[in-house]
């Protein structure tokens, strides 16, 4: 739970708004503990809701306090605390919520249709397409030993077959149903997160289902996923997806190379950071979001993502604001004596993914590293991918303040452009390349900023 809570806090630090599935708020103990605790913690959650920092995503509900359907797994204490939190909002407060459609309040047909076509159907297609991927690459990227790749592929075949049988019987293919069959202990509440070690590759299948679910919601809302550092990157899905129709689409190999060039930054004065951001409180996070340093940080990121082609000129400003923000976080941590400091050497890491290839460049104080893992291309024709910006401590700490966000889409028209880019990268000073997929970790994403969301 500590990892989830750390990621929850990082999301609230690093994005102006965070969309969270309503059920996750009251079912996950890392989030609902503030609601159950009451007092200052619950009030901080109310302030974050009322300010639009936390945005509940609603499926069929039209009100965030609405009772969930009887067939869904619910943590009763969490849901009661959630209702009490909403009931305690001030009369002039409004909770910003998002759903597929707010039209047709009587029949709600438009919301049902959009939920089916934008959420359920794409999720089903991604799950049923798992065996169409390069299984060796997929196995390596979720951490399966090469010797077990065939057994892993067979297990994925069982997941796909089970999903197909649900579709044929006109039953929905949803994550909870797949959890029950392939991940969790039989007969237990899925919301309790009791995973069955006797089910083959339960952890790896959970990673894939979580990744598919999370990027699916981000796509449906037209947003980038806010990806935890060390999590499964979207590249493991080996998609030939269309880049979003936004200015942030990089199509030129030479322009793409600028993201991997060496960056120079001002010297860092503070060389400490809180060892675990989750040792702060939700009230601390609320206070941090009121500080000028936080607003400057978010504004700098907004300018960067609005014009990724100016990356080389603007990334230094983002890094500077990140360093200042760390100083504010450190002050809050020092007020709480249990929040221990760690040595801090901040770096900027840029991750470019194209097809099944991953390239990384790390820049910081006296640091410059560029490396790649170029697996065989998994798709033909045009190639899609993304550019991800990571701000982290060079000395990894699992629960420290760190951040990763996609800042641009990539679309190369053909294998010729890919070869041109690959050749340019190979010429970078000190470039190292390994054959095969890059290592990845546990999955889980939260969608990032959403603007102009309706209130209930």
pLDDT in tens, 23-43: 999 999 989 999 999 999 999
Centre a 10 Å sphere on the Cβ of residue 177 and count the other Cβ atoms it contains: 15
The rounded distance, in Å, linking the Cα atoms of 105 and 22 is 19
Torsion of CA 169, 212, 160, 144, to 10 degrees: -160
Q: Residue 452 half-sphere exposure, CB side, CA atoms within 13 Å?
A: 1
The rounded distance, in Å, linking the Cα atoms of 172 and 183 is 18
Average pLDDT, the chain: 84
Helix (H) or strand (E) holding 411: strand 403-412
Coil/strand/helix, residue 52: coil
Which residues, 6 or more positions from 445, have their beta carbon under 8 angstroms from its beta carbon? 211, 214, 215, 218, 225, 226, 227, 228, 231
Higher pLDDT, 43 or 438: 43
Q: Is the pLDDT of residue 197 over 50?
A: yes
Q: Residue 386 half-sphere exposure, CB side, CA atoms within 13 Å?
A: 26
Helix (H) or strand (E) holding 150: helix 149-168
pTM of the predicted model as reported, rounded to 2 decimal places? 0.83
Q: What percent of the chain has pLDDT over 90?
A: 45
Lowest mean pLDDT among 343-357, 388-402, 430-444: 430-444
Task: Give me the mean pLDDT over the 146-158 stretch.
Answer: 96
Q: What is the DSSP string of 206-273?
A: HHHHHHHHHHHHHHHTT--EEPPTTSPPGGGG---PPPPSSS-EE--HHHHHGGGS----PPPS--EE
pLDDT of the residue at 386: 84
Q: Residue 280 half-sphere exposure, CB side, CA atoms within 13 Å?
A: 31
410 near 387, Cβ under 8 Å?
yes
Lowest mean pLDDT among 143-157, 159-173, 238-252: 238-252
pLDDT of the residue at 227: 57
Q: Is the pLDDT of residue 442 over 50?
A: no
Task: Give me the mean pLDDT over the 200-227 stretch.
Answer: 84
Q: What is the DSSP string of 338-400?
A: TS-EEE--EEEEEEEEETTEEEEEEEETTEEEEEEEEPPPSS-SSEEEEEEEEEEESS--TBS
The rounded distance, in Å, linking the Cα atoms of 25 and 22 is 5
Q: Where are the beta strands (DSSP E) in 8-126?
A: 18-21, 54-57
Residue 169 token pair: 């019987």
Higher pLDDT, 290 or 266: 290
pLDDT of the residue at 240: 60
Coil/strand/helix, residue 81: helix
The rounded distance, in Å, linking the Cα atoms of 178 and 161 is 11
The rounded distance, in Å, linking the Cα atoms of 360 and 398 is 20
pLDDT in tens, 335-394: 876 567 778 888 888 989 887 788 999 988 777 889 998 765 555 677 888 888 888 888
Higher pLDDT, 447 or 266: 266
């Amino acid at each position: 739970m500590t990892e989830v809570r750390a990621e929850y806090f990082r999301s609230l630090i690093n994005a102006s708004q965070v969309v969270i599935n309503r059920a996750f708020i009251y079912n996950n103990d890392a989030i609902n503990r503030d609601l159950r605790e009451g007092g200052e913690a619950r009030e901080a959650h109310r302030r974050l809701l009322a300010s639009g920092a936390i945005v509940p995503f609603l499926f069929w509900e039209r009100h965030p306090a609405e009772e969930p359907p009887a067939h869904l797994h619910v943590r009763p204490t969490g849901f009661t605390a959630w209702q009490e939190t909403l009931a305690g909002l001030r009369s002039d407060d409004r909770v910003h919520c998002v759903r597929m459609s707010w039209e047709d309040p009587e029949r709600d047909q438009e919301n049902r249709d959009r939920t089916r076509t934008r959420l359920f159907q794409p999720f089903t297609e991604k799950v049923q397409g798992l065996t169409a991927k390069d299984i060796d690459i997929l196995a390596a990227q979720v951490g399966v030993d090469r010797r077990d790749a065939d057994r892993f592929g067979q297990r994925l075949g069982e997941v796909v077959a089970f999903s197909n049988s649900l579709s044929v019987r006109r039953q929905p293919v949803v994550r909870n149903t797949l959890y029950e069959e392939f991940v969790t202990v039989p007969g237990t509440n899925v919301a309790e997160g009791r995973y069955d070690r006797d089910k083959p590759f339960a952890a790896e299948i959970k990673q894939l289902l979580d990744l598919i679910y999370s990027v699916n919601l981000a796509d449906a809302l037209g947003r980038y996923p806010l990806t935890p550092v060390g999590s499964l990157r979207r590249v493991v899905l080996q998609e030939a997806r269309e880049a979003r129709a936004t200015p942030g689409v990089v199509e030129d190999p030479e322009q793409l190379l600028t993201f991997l060039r060496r960056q120079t930054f001002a010297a860092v004065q503070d060389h400490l950071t809180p060892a675990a951001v989750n040792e702060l409180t939700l009230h601390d996070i609320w206070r941090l979001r009121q500080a000028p340093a936080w607003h400057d940080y978010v504004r700098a990121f907004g300018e960067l993502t609005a014009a990724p082609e100016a990356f080389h000129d603007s990334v230094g400003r983002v890094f500077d604001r990140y360093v200042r923000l760390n100083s504010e976080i450190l002050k809050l941590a020092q007020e709480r004596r249990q929040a221990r400091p760690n040595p801090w050497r901040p770096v900027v890491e840029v991750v470019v993914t194209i097809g099944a290839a991953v390239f990384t460049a790390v820049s910081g104080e006296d640091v410059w590293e560029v490396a790649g893992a170029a697996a065989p291309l998994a798709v033909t024709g045009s190639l899609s991918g993304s550019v991800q910006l990571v701000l982290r401590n060079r000395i990894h700490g699992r629960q420290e303040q760190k951040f990763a966000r996609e800042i641009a889409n990539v679309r190369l028209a053909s294998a010729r452009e890919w070869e041109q880019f690959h050749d340019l990268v190979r010429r970078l000073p000190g470039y190292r390349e390994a054959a095969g997929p890059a290592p990845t970790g546990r999955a889980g994403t939260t969608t990032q900023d959403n603007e102009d969301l309706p209130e209930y």
